[in-house]
Amino acid sequence: MLAYIFWHWPRPGADARVYESRLARFQDVLRNLPVTGFRDSAVYRVAGAPWFPAGIAGYEEVYLLDNSCAMDLLNDAAVSEPSRRAHDEAIEFCAAAAAGLYRLRHGLPSLTRMVRRYWLAKPRDTKYTEFDAAVLPTLSASPSALWRRQMVLGPTPEFCLQSAGALEVPASMLVFQIETEVVWHR
């Protein structure tokens, strides 16, 4: 499974309620299109992500996909005739954006429960088997999923550990953590 994650923030002066309602409308339209391999999506409010401008809260859209082929189909559907107007309205007040592609490494994702994000980096001299041995035991403490960034696509550290609750992650690997709030999920 893949997760396409799209971060964005509104232009100065944009009304957050209008911005969020337009995001929800776009998600509703997109969810009703027949996109093979598109499993689910959610929109979160996020504060403190280092790729957002200082002091700016933004949004994270997560799209769960079967494979990279589904990403092409979802991209086409997002700007197709049935969804173009909702897409254009959703991005009208967007100041800027960043995105990344992640492969599920361990666990089972839950878009509504997993609101904590622990961004991790594997120390340079650590093998992936050692990384797994250090991190995977923490997954049992709370429903969680470990994602790995693909092909260095995105502004984040290599790993994202999403969790429903607080986790004790190895300090040597933790880059930062953020909490999100669900804005939309079908």
Give domain status of residue 82, yes or no. Answer: yes
**Number of domain units in the chain:** 1
In a domain, 186, yes or no: no
Alpha-carbon torsion angle 99, 102, 174, 156, nearest 10: -20
Average pLDDT, the chain: 94
pLDDT at 186 over 90: no
Q: For 39-85, how does the pLDDT look when each residue is reduced to its tens digit (9 = 90+)?
A: 999 999 998 899 999 888 899 999 999 999 999 999 999 999 999 99
Residue 17 lies in a domain: yes
Q: List the CATH number of the domain containing 99.
A: 3.30.70.100
Categorize the per-residue pLDDT at 141 as very low, low, confident or very high, splitting at 50, 70 and 90: confident
Tell the burial category of 56 from Cβ atoms under 10 Å away from its Cβ (0-12, 13-18, 19+). middle
Tokens of 82: 């049935």
> Dmax of the chain from CA atoms?
49
What pLDDT, on a 0 to 100 scale, did the predictor assign at position 164?
Answer: 93
162 found inside a domain: yes
Range of the domain at 100: 2-181
